Amino acid sequence: MNNACFTYSQQLMGTTVSLQLLTENLQAVAAVFNTIEALEALLTVNREHSEVMNINHAAGKHPVTVSDLVFDLIMQAKQASLLPNSIFNLAIGPLVKLWKIGFSGHTVPDSQSISEKLALTDPRLIVLNKQNNSVYLPKTGMEIDLGAIAKGYIADIIKLVLVQYDIHHAIINCGGNVLTIGSSPLSPNKYWKVGLKKPFASATSLLGIIRVQDKSVVTSGIYERYFIQNNHLYHHIINPATGFPLDNELESITIISENSLTGDIFSTILYGLGIKKGREELNKRTSIGAIFVTKDKQIILQNDQHFQFQLLDKNYQLHKSV
């Protein structure tokens, strides 16, 4: 067994992106990081200009024609927003910008500002025209935010880039989104190892190890971006029904799926559903696996035919859902 492993990292998409390859291929590495940079420049809402920002700037004025990739992601994001009981909402932008959670100037907004912004977050109003790839936000102040899913979409494209370079065994970590490609020749059982982070602990403290092959592992958690005011924790997953961060029994949810976009969409949706409804949903969607981590230190595995889990932190109790 050849244990060589080449790791490359760059600061992109507001996080450290790291790529592990088993053979040195600097052309492939450059192609991966250039692709991420180019896609981030199309999709970000944290800069003044991007294709998504062009749409947002034209809200209430006119439709904006975007590239195939951006149109495709927005179309999928709209579909995910319209699923029954979905808290995922691509039109959440005005509330994300109001709260500024994870950015300087974060604040608990007054209730009037929340209701004003809530009126601008109806995903059904977004007009998509496939004939000319145009997107129209009919009310001034509406804003698309793809922050919950851009990394997953980009990770899936990176897999295609690597395959073009004949790379069939690799792992890419976009901070919260890990995509494993093929099997791992590095371990005897050929599984890639992905750490499950301990909520609110240092980045290297793990609750356990997830073992997968050729799968995406995506986590959404309330400890990723948050602030505390008057003893209340305000985190970055907003309930589109209330305009406030959505609180339930969960600290994090990890989705194991074929592709990373699906993982990203369902980590948000299943976080919103919580354990009881989330389990019902997962019984219908057997192609995705999930790991729920609760505030009272329970770890619940569901559809675990898609992964293996090894508990490391004995303060947590492990359960298998049936």
| Contact set with Mg ion (CB under 5 A) | 148, 264
The residue nearest ligand AMP at its CB is 147
146 with 43: CB under 8 angstroms? yes
244 with 269: CB under 8 angstroms? no
Query: Of these, 43, 142, 148, 253, which contacts ligand AMP (CB under 6 A)?
Result: 148
114 with 95: CB under 8 angstroms? yes
DSSP one-letter string for 245-262: B--SSEEEEEEEESSHHH
Q: In the complex, what is the shortest distance from the CB of residue 184 to ligand AMP, in angstroms, rounded to a whole number? A: 25
The nearer residue to ligand AMP, 21 or 52, going by C-beta atoms, is 52
Burial 200-219 (b: 16+ CB within 10 A, else e): eeeeeebbbebbbbebbbbb
Contact pattern from residue 228 through residue 247 relative to ligand AMP, giving x for each residue in contact according to CB under 6 A and a dash for the rest: --------xxx-x-------
Q: In the complex, what is the shortest distance from the CB of residue 143 to ligand AMP, in angstroms, rounded to a whole number? A: 11
Ramachandran class of 223: left when φ > 0, alpha when ψ lies in -120 to 50, beta otherwise: alpha
Query: Of these, 94, 123, 176, 263, which contacts ligand AMP (CB under 6 A)?
Result: 176
In the list ligand AMP, Mg ion, none, the entry touching 78 (Cβ below 5 to 8 angstroms by class) is: none
Chain-centroid distance, C-alpha 208: 20
Contact pattern from residue 72 through residue 111 relative to ligand AMP, giving x for each residue in contact according to CB under 6 A and a dash for the rest: ---------------xxx--x---x---------------
290 with 282: CB under 8 angstroms? yes
| Binding interface with ligand AMP (CB under 6 A) | 87-89, 92, 96, 145, 147-148, 176, 220, 224-225, 236-238, 240, 264, 267-268
